[in-house]
Structure 1
Amino acid sequence: MLVEWRDDLNIGMLEIDIQHKLLFDKFNAFVSAYQSNQDQDEIMRMFWFLEAYAVTHFKEEEKLMQQVRYPDFVGHREKHLAFIDQINRLKERLKVEGITQNMVSTMTGFITSWLIEHISTMDRAIGRFVNNSPLTPLP
């Protein structure tokens, strides 16, 4: 269930690439807490920490997109908001169902596929835009 960072997920912007790697680390800490049978409070704490870091990362990424006048800022931001909405739904399910194998599988499946897909497409497009635009000032 752990997700390993792959170099092909680098988008060519060091600050964002480092943040993406940290997202994977936070995700893996959550999964490891579950797999090592930590108490439910610790597992939940790791999930909340993952969520908080994702929100922080999104804000940083959105700030960067505004600074460079990224043309698909609105569409990209909508994807971030949809992710946060889905995470909130998962949190509500967690409150009702508790931390079960099924719930953790649902969460890890969603987060893993979303992160890899989003980084590979949406975030990579930001990297291409910044790296191919000689007039785009880097922050």
Structure 2
Amino acid sequence: MLVQWRDDLSIGMLEIDVQHKLLFDKFNAFVNAYQSNQDQDEIMRMFWFLEAYAVTHFKEEEKLMQQVRFPDFVAHRDKHLVFIDQINQLKERLKVEGLSQNLVSTMTNFITSWLIDHISTMDRAIGRFVNNSAPSPRS
């Protein structure tokens, strides 16, 4: 199941929106690789890369939240940590069970719903905070 970027997921901060779109692209590359029966090692590399990119994105997002003094930083960071923990659990299952339709389905359902929910609620709150905190232009 591919995840499609929708304009309503934009949080109004170009750098973060671009990173989110790249997360979707990396996720879709993983799913496409699995669905087209590519080499198992290549599919696993794509998943590892997706995981590494998510961690990098979270660090960038957390740095931004600290810079703007986002009031819900700790709760937001905790959501990132839970995601990383769940991805690590899925990674361990991949190592033990190997790629299977059931496991890939579990992974895609989790990642798809988490990304859309997290972006549309938690990340959108960052965008609102930054946009509401910005000084208004003088008339």
How does the TM-score come out when normalised to structure 2? 0.96
1:115 aligns with 2:105: no
Q: Deviations over 1:12-67 (max 9, x none)?
A: 00000000000000000000000110011000000000000000000000000000
Q: Deviations over 1:58-89 (max 9, x none)?
A: 00000000000000000000000000000000
> 3-state SS of the aligned residue for 2:4?
coil
State percent identity of aligned pairs.
Answer: 88
1:126 aligns with 2:135: no
Give the letter for the 1:38 counterpart: Q
Q: Give 1:1-139 correspondences, 5 Å limit.
A: 1-134=1-134
What CA distance in whole angstroms lies between the structure 2 residues aligned with 1:92 and 1:22? 24
Give the letter for the 2:38 counterpart: Q
Q: CA deviation at 1:134?
A: 2.8
Instruction: Identify unmatched segments of 5+ residues in structure 2.
Output: none
Q: Which runs of 4+ in 1 moved over 2 A?
A: none
Instruction: Identify unmatched segments of 5+ residues in structure 1.
Output: none
Give the letter for the 1:116 counterpart: I
Structural RMSD (CA): 0.6
Give the letter for the 2:10 counterpart: N
What CA distance in whole angstroms lies between the structure 2 residues aligned with 1:43 and 1:102? 15
How does the TM-score come out when normalised to structure 1? 0.96
> 3-state SS of the aligned residue for 2:59?
helix
What CA distance in whole angstroms lies between the structure 2 residues aligned with 1:91 and 1:18? 26
Give the length in aligned residue pairs: 135
